[in-house]
Amino acid sequence: MEHLLGEEWKITPAGGATGDAYIAQHGEQKLFLKRNSSPFLAVLSAEGIVPKLLWTKRIANGDVISAQHWLSSRKLEPEEMNKEQVASVLKKIHSSQALVEMIKRLGKEPLHPQEILKHIKAMIDEDIKSSPIVQKGLHYLYQSLPDIEPTELAVCHCDVNHNNWLESQDNQLYLIDWDGAVIADPALDIGMLLHWYVPKQEWHDWLLQYGMEVNENLLNRMKWYVAAQAIISMQWYKNKQKLVETEYWERYLEMLLS
């Protein structure tokens, strides 16, 4: 990595699950480097959704390194996710035709509920599948399938966790970590954000800020995607041998379906 910038730059790991992110510093200059980041980072940067992209370079082994401005920023706290600015940024993402065109060029097909169910069926092992609440969840997902056909499709981030929202010192809000983005029903993102972070009595106001009216169809679609994600999360944490988190998502699914 050092040969990209010169020996005077100090490069250190930035942490994160993949270990592919780095911080490069030379005097007062600071960059965020990432290996093989999302190929449509340039469009996200142009739309002001992620910090400004400075350059991308392919290195000898075929990896692509991207460099962005390092922002003095902070992650949003869970209780801040009901902010109007969060709704505004998510609406901007879901309304961007440029993002849709770019992700289509990468060969991604729309992700429909039927494909999500197929994915769940293929990924869960017998231990997870034998859980009574997972059985109940799978029954709910299959029974509800005819009622949750998307009314529109957009680029969805798929991981609107509060840790992926950065607020800069000049109050600009960014959504980072786009490796899992898909074309899907915007209710996928909205449902996770509202169910995880916003009290139900505030959903109406949040959705008005987003530019959408609450209706039964939307509520059903949001709940469906959140239930699907809970089962996926159970299996993901079990694979990581994280029992506490696996049990958390099992309890969450039970609460959601009760």
Helices 113-123 and 132-144 sit at what angle, rounded to 10 degrees? 160
In DSSP notation, 22-63 reads EEEEETTEEEEEEES--TTHHHHHHTTSSSPEEEEEE-TTS-
User: What is the DSSP code (8-state) at residue 146?
Assistant: G
Whether 124 contacts 235, CB under 8 Å? yes
Tokens describing residue 174: 């960014």
Please tell me which residue in 20, 159, 179, 205 is annotated as part of the active site: 159
Whether 26 contacts 8, CB under 8 Å? yes
Q: Is 6 exposed, middle or buried (0-12, 13-18, 19+ CB in 10 A)?
A: exposed
Active-site residue flag, 159 = yes
| Residue 86: half-sphere exposure toward Cβ, Cα within 13 Å | 25
Q: Taking every pair of C-alpha atoms in the chain, what is the biggest distance, in angstroms?
A: 60
In DSSP notation, 109-138 reads PP--HHHHHHHHHHH--HHHHTSHHHHHHH
Q: Could you give the residue numbers annotated as active site?
A: 159
